[in-house]
Amino acid sequence: MTTRLKSYNPRESELRAAWHVIDADGKILGRLATEVAVRLMGKDRPGYVAHLLSGDFVIVTNASKVRVTGKKADQKVYVRHNQYPGHRLEVSYSKEFANHPDRVIRHAVKGMLPKNKLGAQMLTRLKIYPGAEHPHSAQVNGFPPQREAQPATGGA
């Protein structure tokens, strides 16, 4: 007689998202994006479920201080197209990083997330700021909610 073990599958109401602040100062773009993508998907948690939004919120600060290795700063090109003939737009990494350092990080993280509606929801949980300040201090400091200690009522 064999026993069948069922794996634990949490409900959506049981999943609680935490807030993480990651400082990008001096970090390499790809390694930073991997760390952020893992946290957004929730793969670092024991209750990871692939079909639910089980990840956390991630705040990336100092996005303007992230770096790349090798010749990527000179050779990397971001390409987009607006579906009109001949409307292919190429922007170099150095130009995109100078104007919008948050877009560079968001693009790298987006490539590591699932390509479906759930991946789009995960990407909305990513907040990127070029400087050290961010407006989410209440969420970061307020999670998890601290329970007040209940006074012990001794029966004497």
Q: What residues contact residue 30 under an 8 Å CB cut-off, 6+ apart?
A: 68, 108
The pLDDT confidence band at residue 147, using thresholds 50, 70 and 90, is: low
Domain span at residue 32? 16-68+100-142
**136 within a domain of the structure (yes/no):** yes
**93 within a domain of the structure (yes/no):** no
In sequence order, what DSSP letters do the residues of the chain get, joined into one string? ----PPPP---GGG----EEEEE-TT-BHHHHHHHHHHHHHTTTSTT--TTS----EEEEE-GGG-B--TTHHHH-EEEEE-SSTT-EEEEEHHHHHHH-HHHHHHHHHHTTS-SSHHHHHHHHTEEE-SSS--S-HHHHHH-SPPPPPPPP----
**63 within a domain of the structure (yes/no):** yes
pLDDT of residue 106: 98
**147 within a domain of the structure (yes/no):** no
pLDDT of residue 143: 62
**49 within a domain of the structure (yes/no):** yes
pLDDT of residue 116: 96
**29 within a domain of the structure (yes/no):** yes
- Chain segment 100-114, per-residue pLDDT in tens: 999 999 999 999 999
CATH number of the domain within which 25 lies = 3.90.1180.10
Lowest-pLDDT range of 3-17, 18-32, 87-101: 3-17
**86 within a domain of the structure (yes/no):** no
- Chain segment 45-103, per-residue pLDDT in tens: 988 889 999 999 999 999 999 999 999 999 999 999 999 999 999 999 999 999 999 99
Say if residues 76 and 92 touch (Cβ distance below 8 Å): yes
- Reading the block at residue 149, the tokens are 């200690």
**90 within a domain of the structure (yes/no):** no
Q: How many domains does the chain have?
A: 1
CB atoms within 10 A of CB 126: 21
Q: What residues contact residue 82 under an 8 Å CB cut-off, 6+ apart?
A: 89
